[in-house]
Amino acid sequence: MSKPAIMRQMPQIAHVDVNCFYASAERAFDPSLEGRPLVVLSNNDGCAVTRSPEAKALGISTGDPWFKLAPRAKEWGLVAKSSNYELYGDISSRVMELLGRYSAWLEVYSIDEAFLGVKGEPEQLLALGRRIKEAVRRHVGVPVCVGIAPTKTLAKLCNKWAKNNPAFGGVCHWDSVPWQQRESLMDRLSVEEVWGIAGRLTKRLNVLGIFTVLDLVRADPVVIRDKFSVIVMRTVLELRGTPCIPMEEERIGRDQLIFSRSFAKPVTTVAGLRQVLSIYGQQASARLSKHGLQAKVLTAFAATSPFRQHEQAYPSVCVSLPMPTADPLLLARAAHALLPGIRDGLQYAKAGIMLTDLRPTGNQSPLKLFENRHEERGIGPLLEDVSRKFGRGSIGLGQAGIKTGLDWTMKRDMRSPRYTTHWDELPLVRAA
């Protein structure tokens, strides 16, 4: 099916995501994990949230509780790691910085995936996808797959194909796949694999005889709208190549919240960015509160426009908060750690903050008062200094002390070093 040149020049969307992100981040610094079954555990070492392909092959599912896996770990050669959000946050911001160099139109969708607006002939887009894949692997050390298509839903679908079909070599471009092959691929994929179709919807779609992606493509969008919602209709239209889901700039996921904006006019001063980061801190705080969450790790970043001809910079910092918080002041202050990396005079096109290591707020409201009062007296930084020198849990405030072992301290018995954010935990290289 050949389209007129003008059609092919329409902007397309590249969806880039890191393969088994947490496991890949662990492997980037510990090559002994390569080829072994590996799971990364959720907060408090509860259950498996990321599985290496080898762990998937053992039949381990996402959400399998660790206490059930642990007895068989030795027999399987299974390695488990506690979540290392400091490491994942830093690796994520490196990946996003790198992706930002390929397009000014970047939506950081989650800690490990992003949408990029791209333009070009099919061969150029395929080559771009391969360049991106190679650059992330080489610069940051984690593998990614790339899906490129006219809509977000199709880009996600292409990415899935790129991941699951070795013939694509990790990069799949919708327009470059012959129509017959697309049909057979869509016919072989269950409808629940489509972005936006949750498990619950699947059963209702099945009742209508819609089992595969191809069935959904062939469904009448209007009937779908009437039986389901306009949102599901949009998904159908997107699968048919009509863009309906715009690029967004804010998103809350299961374990992270990302808040980023491109500026209408570049921000060129430290003072300007201080203000921007303060606002983001407050907005992120409101978001956290709304979802009953607190964050432990904050990553702040800014980027100059890759399309402008002036000097470019992509500063970012990853800050481990002294305690889980949704306090706007604390979040804004943490975001300000980015400011020493900002240079007056550069034209920053966007900035953002990402909150990771999220956990439910619980019954900690009285503590907020204490937190703030201690903040003013500078006790927070002091505690942090002591903890850094003598280890976590070596010192704590009265209330925090009581909480130890319950809400505050995370069980993270199997956490790898925070290789890129803590000077005392750098990766070791052998000279022997």
Partner 1 sequence: MGVVVGPRVIDAGASLFSVLISPVAVAAGFPSPAQDYFDGRIDLNAYLIKDITSTFVVRVTGDSMEGAGISDGDELIVNRALEPKDGSVVIAVLDGELTVKRLRLTASGVVLQAENPKYPDINVTALSELTIWGVATRCLHHV
H or E segment to which residue 396 belongs: none
Options 58, 73, 337, 395; binder of partner 1; rule CB under 8 A: 337
CB of 96 to partner 1, least distance (A): 9
CB of 84 to partner 1, least distance (A): 14
Q: Is 114 in the site for partner 1 (CB under 8 A)?
A: no
* Cβ distance to partner 1 smaller for residue 104 or 177: 104
DSSP state of 326: -
Q: Is 133 in the site for partner 1 (CB under 8 A)?
A: no
Stretch of 75-83, 135-143, 174-182, 392-400 contacting partner 1, by CB under 8 A: 135-143
Compute the half-sphere exposure of residue 253: CA atoms within 13 Å on the CB side of its CA: 15
Burial class (CB in 10 A: 0-12, 13-18, 19+), 211: middle
CB of 261 to partner 1, least distance (A): 21
Stretch of 51-59, 93-101, 178-186, 405-413 contacting partner 1, by CB under 8 A: 93-101
Could you give the CA distance from residue 425 to residue 30 in angstroms, rounded to a whole number? 13
Could you give the CA distance from residue 368 to residue 323 in angstroms, rounded to a whole number? 11
CB of 28 to partner 1, least distance (A): 9
Footprint on residues 141-160 left by partner 1 (CB under 8 A): 141
What residue ranges in 119-195 does DSSP mark as E strands?
Answer: 144-149, 171-173
* Amino acid, res. 1: M
Q: Is 316 in the site for partner 1 (CB under 8 A)?
A: yes
Contact 231, 137 (CB under 8 A): no
Options 72, 139, 218, 308; binder of partner 1; rule CB under 8 A: 139
> Both tokens of residue 37?
């079954």
Q: Number of residues in contact with partner 1, rule: CB under 8 A?
A: 39
DSSP helix/strand/coil, 379: helix
* Cβ distance to partner 1 smaller for residue 5 or 432: 432
* Cβ distance to partner 1 smaller for residue 35 or 65: 35
Question: Phi and psi for 414 in degrees, rounded to 5?
Answer: -115, 30
Q: Is 21 in the site for partner 1 (CB under 8 A)?
A: no
CB of 253 to partner 1, least distance (A): 21
Parallel, antiparallel or unpaired: strands 106-110 and 113-118: antiparallel
Options 5, 6, 406, 431; binder of partner 1; rule CB under 8 A: 431
Q: What angle do CA 305, 307, 312 make, to 5 degrees?
A: 50
Going edge to edge, which strands form the sheet with 250-252? 250-252, 256-267, 348-360, 293-304, 316-325
Residues sharing a CB contact under 8 Å with residue 179, sequence separation 6 or more, in sequence order:
1
* Cβ distance to partner 1 smaller for residue 83 or 93: 93
Window 176-205: contact mask with partner 1 (x via CB under 8 A): ------------------------------
* Cβ distance to partner 1 smaller for residue 82 or 316: 316
Q: Is 16 in the site for partner 1 (CB under 8 A)?
A: no
Options 20, 23, 38, 140; binder of partner 1; rule CB under 8 A: 140
Q: Is 38 in the site for partner 1 (CB under 8 A)?
A: no
Q: Is 419 in the site for partner 1 (CB under 8 A)?
A: yes
CA 425, 71, 47, 404 dihedral sign is: negative
Parallel, antiparallel or unpaired: strands 12-18 and 113-118: antiparallel
Q: Is 82 in the site for partner 1 (CB under 8 A)?
A: no
Cα dist from 178 to 2, 3, 181, 183, whole Å: 11, 13, 5, 9
Q: Where are the alpha helices (DSSP H) in 110-191?
A: 122-140, 152-164, 179-188
* Cβ distance to partner 1 smaller for residue 141 or 266: 141
CB of 318 to partner 1, least distance (A): 5
* Cβ distance to partner 1 smaller for residue 14 or 317: 317
Contact 102, 128 (CB under 8 A): yes
Options 150, 315, 328, 352; binder of partner 1; rule CB under 8 A: 315
* Amino acid, res. 324: P
* Amino acid, res. 161: W
Options 66, 259, 314, 408; binder of partner 1; rule CB under 8 A: 314
Residues that bind partner 1 (CB under 8 A): 29, 31-32, 34, 94-95, 97-98, 138-141, 314-320, 334, 337-338, 340-341, 381, 384, 388, 419-423, 426-432
